[in-house]
């Protein structure tokens, strides 16, 4: 199948795509195109509707972004067979419990899955050749963020799609490690955590909303409990009213303007 064959218009005019047993639908939303996802749809692509899709893989600006997303996954699927990954040994206890699935990426590098979580184990010999900034002392790398260290250290064991995702993950969630490996500082816009650290420093003495709900007593308003700097735990909490059409959680939190947002 060629790349152009991946895409079909549904009867309703929405752009749809399928790669093996994976399915996507481009659903227009206010901010662009929501990438709706599903698995093993049996209906013809032309008959797909948003009701058939129960997953989501983010929002892109337009159909070109949707096509790029699908094409990247299609290329990932094409590259996987060449990596010759094998089923790994299940006879090991992981930090997340007994594994029910294991994939050997190379000798000494195995990815384990358990009913609750998962991640990579890198043995001592392989760990020794990893950059110090990427190396975990116990050899375990959980699947949400830490896995990126393994992909960056051993890029030949991963597809282009996985390497790109790993680079983005490391930049966003472990900027210190990314900077150590790449030898330069990240700008705020390049890393979610760097941007968040800046937000927290700037708003350390401001009231930042930690939850929100529609107000029954004040129509058109949102009730917003807030703490200084958005801290959680055993800290003072104040409740504010914010107009519904003004409230937006933003990237790191909504900052209360004490001159305009009344305290209740």
In 3D space, the residue among 163, 165, 187, 164 whose CA is nearest the CA of residue 175 turns out to be: 187
Pairs from 183-187 (Cβ < 8 Å, separation ≥ 24): none
Predicted TM-score (pTM) of the model is 0.84
Please write the tens of the pLDDT for every residue from 32-67: 999 999 999 999 999 999 999 999 999 999 999 999
Q: For residue 4, name the pLDDT band (cuts at 50, 70, 90).
A: very low
Rounded Cα distance, 66 and 46, in Å: 17
CA quadruple 138, 141, 145, 149: dihedral sign = positive
Q: What is the pLDDT of residues 169-213, one digit of tens each?
A: 999 999 999 999 999 999 989 999 999 999 999 999 999 999 999
Q: Across the chain, what does the average pLDDT equal? A: 94
Residue 1 pLDDT more than 70? no
The predicted model gives 96-101 an average pLDDT of 93
On the question of pLDDT at 16 being above 60, the answer is yes
* β pairing state of 55-60 and 213-214: unpaired
| pLDDT at 255 > cutoff 90 | yes
pLDDT at 15: 97
Confidence at residue 6, expressed as pLDDT on a 0 to 100 scale:
84
User: So where are the chain's domains?
Assistant: 3-81, 86-182, 203-264
């Amino acid at each position: 199948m060629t790349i152009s064959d991946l895409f079909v218009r549904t009867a309703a005019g929405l752009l749809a795509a399928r790669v093996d047993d994976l399915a996507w639908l481009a659903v227009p939303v206010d901010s662009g195109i929501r990438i709706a996802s599903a698995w093993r749809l049996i209906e013809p692509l032309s008959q797909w509707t948003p009701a058939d899709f129960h997953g989501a893989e983010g929002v892109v600006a337009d159909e070109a972004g949707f096509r790029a997303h699908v094409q990247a996954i299609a290329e990932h699927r094409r590259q996987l067979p060449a990596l010759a990954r094998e089923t790994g040994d299940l006879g090991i206890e992981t930090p997340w419990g007994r594994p029910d699935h294991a994939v050997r990426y190379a000798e000494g590098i195995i990815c384990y899955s358990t009913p609750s979580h998962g991640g990579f184990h890198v043995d001592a010999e392989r760990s020794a050749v990893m950059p110090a900034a990427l190396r975990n002392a116990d050899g375990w790398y959980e699947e949400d963020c830490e896995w990126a260290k393994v992909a960056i250290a051993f890029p030949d064991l991963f597809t282009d799609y996985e390497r790109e995702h790993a680079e983005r993950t490391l930049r966003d969630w472990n900027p210190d490690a990314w900077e150590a490996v790449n030898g330069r500082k990240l700008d705020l816009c390049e890393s979610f955590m760097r941007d968040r650290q800046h937000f927290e420093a700037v708003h350390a003495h401001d009231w930042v909303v930690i939850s929100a709900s529609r107000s029954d007593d004040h129509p058109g308003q949102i009730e917003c409990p807030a703490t200084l700097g958005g801290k959680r735990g055993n800290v003072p909490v104040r409740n504010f009213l914010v107009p519904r059409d003004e409230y937006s959680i933003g990237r790191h939190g909504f900052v209360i303007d004490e001159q305009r947002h009344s305290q209740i």
